[in-house]
Structure 1
Amino acid sequence: MYAQYRITTDTNSFVAKNYTRPEPIKEHIDYVFDHFRGKSEKESIATLTYLLHKAQLINNQQLIANSHNVMGAVYALTGKFDLALHQYQQAIKLFETVSNQQAITTMYNNIGMVYNNTKQYKLAIEYFDKGLAMSNASKNERTACLIHINLANLYIQVGQLDKSLRNALRADTLSQKLQMKVEQAVNLNLIGAIYFYKNEFDKAVQYYTASKVVAESVNDQHSANTALMNIGEVQVRQKDPAAENTLMTTLQYFTGIADNYNIQLSAQLLKEHFTQQKKYETALIYAEKAFAAEKKMIDSVNYKTFSTLQTTYETAQKENTIRLLGQADSLKGLRIVAQQLELSNNLYILTQQRFALASARLKSVEDSLLLATQQESLLQTKLEASQKQENINALNKQALQQQIALQQKQITLNQKNTTIAIVAGLLAIVLLLGYGLFRRKQLAQEALLLQQQTLQREQLTKAVLDAEEAERKRIAADLHDGVGQLFSAVKMNLQGLLDRIDIPKQEDVFLAEKTMALVDESCKEVRVISHNMMPNFLLKSGIASDIRNFIEKIDENTLKIHFESKGFKDQLEHNEEVILYRVVQELVNNVMKHAAANELYILLEKTTDKIEIQVKDNGKGFDYNTALAKGGLGLKNMLVRVEYLKGKIRFLPNVPSGTSVHISIPIIS
């Protein structure tokens, strides 16, 4: 199918002369559609953007619409449903202009899928029904098969399993008839899911396995791994140890293609598996992975844009969007509560086991007491026989009876002492066990609370730092694009005015030139301020280069700065670079404003396990505790930023004069 033209997804390797006619563009779009499930989103969108541009150059509306349609499919696969809906709506408008009824039917199906994935089931059914009616009228069995598959998926989500099974079986018949292997694999997976929800696990695994085989036969790795993940879910439900290897395989695949929806499902199933194995620390790791993937999936949907795009179809989507946002906000709290309940349940089970052991020991003591009672009964019988014998031998028996009575009193006393000792011992054991369990639970709760407080503190710090950087960026943009543009306009207008008029007086000429100089200086000052607040290189260069550029803007006659960096071959994470840049910037500004120094030494060094920063000046120095007590905002900001990076900062006197600042940031691999 693709042999006539050289097909590649590397946009740098496109042969431009092949894309001046519709045929190669169409074949390449079809190629991307057939293979995008195994590619990254970035690679597929880059290819489609190129092909869209080529279709626009030859003004082929059909190919332009095809490009938008496939882009929508790529975005839908990675959960970016707002972008997918936008692309589908662009496509359906173009298909309507060329009266392509079959393509319009496909668009109804695709838009229905978007509404289904965003849980707007009423709108989804409406579009599926439109597409099914149109495909049946035109005998378009291929599109009808796709819509039956999507209806089966929808009815699973709303709990109508019988309707779902009817649609899935109809789709299975059509997919086999039309040799639609990719769609057949997806549909077999859905049938397996239906039987899973019916608790018929053997049938579910049978269909999941069939789906995996069909998907692998056409190299559809996404469907194959989805079926494998569902097999893993059955294994978790049946507490099968094989679930770990199964789900690790699917998690690795979905992580490789950044499929956050399926990353969340795989990680959640691994969390349940390790919880069953009582490996709670490992379970917590995968619970956090699931939450992170779900958060990325929710954040990827721009609900404001999504609401604007769909107002021409239904206003009811706004309520659904608000509900989704509410679920996202409460998700983390629900997970923490679930972990606490799980921990409490485990402690309760342990307590039951301890009490069962104590009950068993108590039963053993009761058996011992019963045996002693039986022995006493036997002794009493012997005593009665002895009494009868004593009646015959009165004199001898009287002496013997006195001796037996004395022994009986001694036995009774020993039994009482034994009983008291046993009861006291059991009571002590129960008290010790109870205290131990209480103390363990108390320590566990304290540790969990400390962990939650630490996490909340880190999140709050990150939010504050992010908000500060965002505000700096906004103010810098306002200065550059607002005030800077106004000053530039003033400069241009003033220059034009001076060029058009003649100023007779020399002092007026001097005043005009001085005014122009002041306006020009104001423009420069606005640019300097905006660049200091959010320099462009902060997003492009490494931390060492960023700081060097900042230092080069400082007048050497005011402060001579010696800067040295070691080990910064690779860039750090963006957030870390911004924080370190702000800390060094604040230190240099403090030296310029307060230290009265003329020389400053800065050393930046990165090793395998930490980042070291040293800043030394020859100024008048300052007392750290006094400055901190005064509530200086800059000093507190530095402490918060360094603490957020798990680092330490020390302020020491420099020799012979000035201040030495040492910062150490660990590198967490």
Structure 2
Amino acid sequence: MLIVLPMSICYSQDLSQIEKKIYNNKELALQELNKLDTSIFSDNDKAKYFYLKGEIYDLKNFEDKAFQNYIISKKLYQKIDSIEKAVKINLKLANIIKYQKNNSKISYQKYLDEYVDYFKNSSDSLKYAKALADIATFKLDNEEDEESFKYFKTALSINQDIKNKKLASLINTNLAVIYNEYLNKPDSALYYLNNDIPYLNEINDYYGLSINYTNQAASYYYKNNHQKAIELLNKANSLPIKNYIKGTKASINYFLSVNYYELGDYKKAYESYLTHQTYQDSINEEKQNIAINDIQTKYQTRETELKNEVLTAEVKTGKILVYIFIGLLIASLVIGFLIIKNARRRVYISKQEKLIEQQKLEKALKEFELNSIDLMLEGQEKERERIANDLHDNLGSMLATLKMNFEHLRMRKNEIREEEDKLYDRTDQLIEDAYQKVRTIAHAKNAGVFANEGLIPAIRKMAGKISIPGTLTIEVLAVGFNKRLENKIEIAIFRMVQELSTNIIKHSKATEASIQLTNHDDNINIIIEDNGVGFKSTTAPSSNGMGLNTITKKVEQLGGTFTIDSTPGKGTTIIIDLPI
């Protein structure tokens, strides 16, 4: 006895088989969908048919076709009163609208509101909490961190009664990301991540544990505890994960390189980055292989279609076979050429990236050397001040006491012969000279190179020296500098102005330049202008001195701002604002 399955069941099975192929081979899945005769489909199968088509076009980045198919599927689900499936399509529609730039006619918010309102009005608290978490995830992906935070918190509150561990794990992970990346509260992030550890251990979710340890490492990075971050990243790297291995390893090694760099261990930072790049290259190669497989599938499909035409037409068989052979030969040659070209290109790009990373390492070492020089200069300044203080407080006071005792001794002497009197006078003069020299040295303790003149006179003196009569005139304008600044600030400002003035001489070809300094009590404004050739922002001049990048970092270190306004042929204006 034969059992005949209803046609709707047969087509449901076909759709389920095609659904499994979508993420592995979307081209083949689309071809199999197009072969199906939808005229004999039930409404339920039609709804799923258009939904699968929407998914494929979504993956292929054909947003307009994906949107149309999702809308058709949603209407069909509404028609058969399958409201929950219809509402779930709203997330797909909202996601497509989100990435449409300059789209002011359609708002994705209405789809999100409809989605969450449906589950809010249902009697299933778990589904409502999951819906809130879905909206929160959507908002987080869209960088709406405040909205995302509110939805996650509401979902977490509802789940406290339900106690669904899987949902709680999802919420904890995402809240930790928000606290780390948007709210700058790494301790709060660690609280939620640590709450998630028991559940992940309970279900032996090594991948989840790996992500958790990586997120904890991010928290410690923000807390400037880079050693703890490295410890957690190595722990994550040792877990026997089975899914998303290359992507996870690439991320872990990248974060390891960042933390090693912050600790000054440039060798390990470079080694970790190379490991990250190796995994990343492997991922890119897999993507290229998938693309090549899609091309081969297209050619194989076309080959099958041509063979069917030959069998049905029964004409010009030999000629068509020749064309097929030639087409396949050409296709094979093209694919082979593309594979070889891509392989060479990958090798070239890999070499370039390694060269760039080597240059970055060298630059980091150079910056480290510059920082060491700064520390040495600062140490010299402090040593000068210490010596001056010792001269003033110790040796100076001893000489003053000696002079006073000597005067007292001479006054008490009643009978002084002429030779002894001259000896007393000469000794007294020598003590006076030594005392005055100690006072002169001690009075130089306040400010290194600016001790006698101060910032503004030093800048004017420098401008006078580097001005070239008939070629370059540099004018110095200073307002509000009625009293001296802190020695460290004066030295920093002088070095920056000196470097920027040097750049004017070397690169600008200017005939006139001005240095304007204004003290506003709470901040100092510095404007340096020239009428030279200017430059593009991507080709900013550099020098053997501090350099624009180093000046920028120094200004940021002092809590200020550094702005460059330059146009080729129209000169350059540099503005520096420093708080005091």
Bin the TM-score by the shorter chain. Answer: 0.3 to 0.5
* TM superposition score normalised by structure 1: 0.41
* TM superposition score normalised by structure 2: 0.46
